[in-house]
């Protein structure tokens, strides 16, 4: 298989970094993006000479537009890994504080939906037939999770509509939806042992997921042989939620 050009948003840490490492190990040219330049530089140093970084805020339309001149002219695979539960960075809104409630919902929508929509829309003209788009979702889209779960559910709905629109061009778009996954910044170091045990016990495998588990699912959907798989949600959660 010839070398492909891969763009991974949120590629400096966690799942995005593991995804980028998988493509780099396969010999692909990898571009990681994110807001924190130092994390991106660390990732590039680890990924090797065929990796590079472009820093910008994927939720900001102007920043995405400005970054286009620094992004590859041809993109074979786009992985939207930017996101996370922004609610973990701020205290919960006080009851009745509608302004704070609206801000919380908008923050998660921006971080998880707009990042994917804006970067995908910007790069679609650069994707040839056979291109692949994979967005990282969450088990929260099916099991709750308030504003974060609602944002990830919106990603699934957008993916379904996008798949219909770009399918005739020979492009596919899918969601990889993890459950509990270690090796990320998701819980900000605040995952209690009791909650970890409860989440592990909900799985059939009786273990935590890893970033490598998620990256392997992305590799499958990005492969040329997966050309008839589109508009789908691939659950990687050890059976904690059955996608059927």
Q: Please identify every residue annotated as catalytic.
A: 148
Residues 1, 224: contact at Cβ < 8 Å? yes
Buried/exposed code over 119-148 (b: 16+ C-beta within 10 A; e: otherwise): bbebbbebbeeebbbbbbbbbbbbeebebb
Radius of gyration of the chain (CA): 17
Count of alpha carbons within 13 angstroms of residue 45, beta-carbon side:
6
Residues 135, 83: contact at Cβ < 8 Å? no
């Amino acid at each position: 298989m010839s070398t492909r050009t891969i763009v991974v948003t949120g590629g400096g840490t966690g799942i995005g970094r593991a995804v980028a490492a998988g493509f780099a190990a396969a010999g692909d040219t990898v571009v990681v993006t994110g807001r924190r330049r130092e994390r991106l530089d660390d990732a590039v140093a680890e990924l090797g000479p065929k990796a590079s970084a472009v820093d910008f805020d994927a939720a900001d339309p102007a920043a995405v537009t400005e970054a286009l001149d620094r992004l590859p002219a041809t993109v074979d695979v786009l992985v939207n890994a930017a996101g996370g539960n922004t609610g973990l960075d701020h205290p919960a809104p006080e009851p009745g504080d509608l302004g704070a409630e609206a801000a919380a919902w908008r923050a998660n929508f921006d971080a998880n939906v707009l990042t994917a929509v804006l970067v995908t829309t910007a790069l679609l003209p650069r994707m040839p037939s056979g291109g692949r788009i994979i967005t990282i979702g969450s088990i929260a889209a099916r099991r709750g999770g308030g504003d974060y779960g609602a944002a990830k559910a919106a990603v699934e709905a957008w993916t379904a509509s996008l798949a219909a629109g770009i399918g005739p061009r020979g492009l596919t778009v899918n969601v990889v939806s993890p459950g509990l996954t270690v090796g990320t910044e998701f819980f900000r170091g605040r995952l209690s042992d009791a909650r970890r045990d409860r989440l592990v016990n909900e799985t059939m495998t009786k273990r935590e997921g890893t970033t490598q588990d998620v990256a392997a699912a992305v590799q499958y959907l990005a492969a040329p042989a997966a050309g008839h798989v589109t508009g789908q949600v691939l659950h990687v959660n050890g059976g904690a939620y059955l996608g059927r």
